[in-house]
Chains A and B, each alone.
Chain A
Amino acid sequence: MNDSLNHDVLKNEVLASDAPPRPPAATQATPSANPFAISTAISAWAVPGLGHLMLHRPGRAILFFFSVGGLAIAGYVLRGNVFPLHSNDPFGTLGFLADAGSGVFYLLSRVFEAAGPDVSRAAGDYGTRFIAAAGVVNILSAFDAYEIASGRRS
């Protein structure tokens, strides 16, 4: 009896493999078409932790805000270099993209670093890396929020 059952299962599998591929179900939403996931990612980028707060994960939201803010403010206190939008140097543009990743903390750089950067000392050089790392970490957190919002992970 088992043999006949296995034979039927095998036959069905062969028939299924011969069938033309089915189009994806219309109800299956692609992640790129999910406006909530996109708005969550943008919010997570603009204010570190806000995306996770929107997803009802307040603990992670606070810790993301604390880690990104800690890196950015430490960088400003160390008087690291903040890259402007317009730069003739490609590395300057990359630096801007990294710095701008910290969202609102990039806009607050003038508040925290009123005296401007000072990279003549090692501390200022460290500060530049701290500020860039804050932006990169925040971009990663925005991707994390996007994946949670689109249902790819918990």
Chain B
Amino acid sequence: MAASIVRPSHFSALLLFAFFASLALGLMQRTTAERIRHAAWSFFLFLAIGIGIAWLMYPFSH
């Protein structure tokens, strides 16, 4: 039987990674408010930095 092939887009893979990683990073804060704020900020930074680096590399792909 052939193995199933999962091919997410670059962006959906980034979303998935950012979600799980920021969730875990947020859990290490002390209070619930800090956890939510830290997780949301980490999630935003993962996306912003990922998209930023993608745009920086864009000229080299053409």
Is A37's beta carbon under 8 Å from chain B?
no
CA distance A49 to B23 in the complex (A): 13
Cβ-closest chain B residue relative to A115: B3
Give residues 13-32 of B contacting A (CB, 8 Å): 13, 16-17, 19-21, 23-25, 27-28, 30
26 contacting pairs across A/B (C-beta < 8 A): A60-B27, A63-B23, A63-B27, A67-B20, A67-B21, A67-B24, A67-B27, A70-B16, A70-B19, A74-B16, A74-B17, A74-B20, A114-B3, A123-B6, A123-B7, A123-B13, A126-B17, A129-B17, A130-B16, A137-B20, A137-B21, A140-B28, A141-B27, A141-B28, A144-B27, A154-B30
Is A56's beta carbon under 8 Å from chain B?
no
- Contacting residues, chain A, for B3 (C-beta < 8 A): 79, 114-115
Please tell me the size bucket of the interface on B.
10 to 19
Q: Decide yes or no: A126 and B13 within 8 Å by CB, A63-B23, A74-B20, A78-B8 being known contacts.
A: yes
B4 → chain A closest CB, angstroms: 8
